[in-house]
Amino acid sequence: MAAGFRPSSPGTHGSETAVNPAQLEPVAPGERIATLDVLRGFALGGILLMNMEAFVGPVMGSYSGLDPALAGVDRIADGLVYFFVQGKFFTLFSLLFGMGFAMMAQRADASGRPFVGLYFRRGLALLGIGLVHALLVWSGDVLVTYALLSFPLLAFHATPARVLAWLGAACYLAAPALLMGLGFLSLWVPGWDEFMAVQGQQMEAMLEAQRQAYGAGGYATAVAQRMADFGLMLSNLLVMGVLVFGMFLIGAAFMRSGAIQRPELHPRLYRMLREGVLPLGVLLMLASFVIQPSVALNSFTLRQATAQSLGLVAGALMCLGYVAWVMWLLARPVGQRWLGWLAPAGRMALTNYLVQSIVCTLVFYGYGLGFFEHLPRLWQIPFALGLFAVQVLYSQWWLERFRFGPAEWLWRSLTYLKPQPMRLAVAQAGS
C-alpha cells in the first residue's frame, strides 16, 4: 500500500478530527479523506489522457470527437479515448471540486466560524492561478471556469443533500437540453446552414491560427494566441458552465450525505451506480457514437445535437459509475494496495495538473522541442501513462518530505493570507 493511504474510518468519518474553534486552518495530512485523494489521482490520470490530443495538436482539434482523418490503430486509440475518457474525467474533476467545497463547509460548521471571506479568497486565489495557466502556459485551462463558478456555489452552503442532487442533475441536463433546442432550431430557422458555414469558417481560421502559433511560433506568439483562445473559452461558459456547476452540486450532495465518508452505509446507492447507471451511460455513449461520432465545425444539425446531447448525459453517468467502482475497490485490500498509489498524486492534484501542461507544451510546442502534430494518436496513450506514472512516484517522494505540493502551498498561503509551513517535519513539530 502506498504510504499515507488509509480508507475512511467509521470512527473518524475519514477526515474530521478536532477543529480549533478559534481558527480555520488547512486540512492536515492526517485529517484528509483518503478516498478523495485516490479519486483525485484517478481523475488526474484520465484528464491527462483526455488532454493529450489538445497538447499534441490545436486545442480546437480535440473538440471534434472521433477524428475522421485517422485510420488503423490511431483511429482505434482515438475512439477508445473518446468513448471511455473524453467527457467523463472533467466531470469527475468537477464532482470532486463540489465534494471539496462541501467538506470545507462542514469543517467551518464544526469550528463554529463563518467561512465566506475565506472561501472568496480561495476562489480568487484559484482564479489567479488559472489565469496564469490559461494565458502563459496552456489555453485548455479549466481552473478559471472552476474559480468563476465557485462563487455562486456558496449560495448552496446549507442546502440538504437530496436537494443538491436534484438541483445538480437539473442543472447538468440543461446543457444537453440547450443543444437539442438548437438542433430543432436548425430545422426551422431560415439561413441556418449559411450562418453555420460562416461560424465554421471562423472556427477553421482559429484552428489554423492555433496550429501556426503553437506549432511554429515563439513564446510571445503563443501567449497572444492564448489570449484569443481565452475569449472563446469564456463564450463557451453558457454550455460548459451549467455542466460543471451541475457536477459541483452533485459532488456536494455526495459529501453532505456522508456517501464518501461512510460508503458502507450507502450500499444501495453504489450498487445502483455500478450495475445500473454505468451500463446505462455506456449504452447512451454507444448510441451517440453510432448516430454521429465526429463533430463538424461548419454545421450543426438535429442529428449532431442528438449525438452530442447523448454523449453529455453518458459522460455524467459513466463518471458516477467510475466513482462507484473505485469506491468498491477501495473497500477491498487489493484495491487499497494498488489504488492507494494514486493518493499522493491526488493530494498534489493542482501541482500535477499544472506540471502536465508545462511538460507537454515544452515537449510539443514550437518554443519547446517542437513535436507538435508529430506524435501519432496511438503513441499519445503510452506517453500520457508514462508521464502520469512519473508523477505518481514523484508525488510519493515529495509528500514524504513536504506537507503540500508547491501549487497547493501557494493556493493555501494566499487563501489564509500567511505562508503555510511547508516541510513535513516543521509542520509536525508545530502541531
Q: Cβ of 193: how many Cβ atoms within 10 Å?
A: 13
Q: Give me the mean pLDDT over the 178-204 stretch.
A: 94
228 grid coordinates: 484569443
CA distance 99 to 8: 15
Q: Which whole number is the average pLDDT over 345-352? A: 97
Work out the percent of the chain whose per-residue pLDDT is above 90: 80
Q: Report how far residue 228's alpha carbon sits from residue 206's, in angstroms, rounded to the nearest whole number.
A: 9
pLDDT of residue 424: 83
**Residue 414 grid coordinates:** 494566499
Report whether 151 contacts 120 (CB < 8 A): yes
- Cβ atoms of 47 and 91 within 8 Å: the answer is no
pLDDT 10s digits, 234-288: 888 888 999 999 999 999 999 999 999 999 999 999 999 999 999 999 999 999 9
Q: What is the pLDDT of residue 297?
A: 84
3-state secondary structure of 129: helix
Is residue 229 pLDDT above 50, yes or no?
A: yes
Residue from 323, 411, 345, 427 nearest 104 by CA: 411
Boundaries of every domain in the chain: 29-430
Q: What is the average per-residue pLDDT within 299-321?
A: 97
- Cα–Cα distance between 73 and 75 in angstroms, integer? 5
Per the CB < 8 A criterion, the answer to whether 60 and 29 are in contact is no
Q: Name the band, by pLDDT with cuts 50, 70 and 90, for residue 32.
A: low
Give me the mean pLDDT over the 320-332 stretch.
97
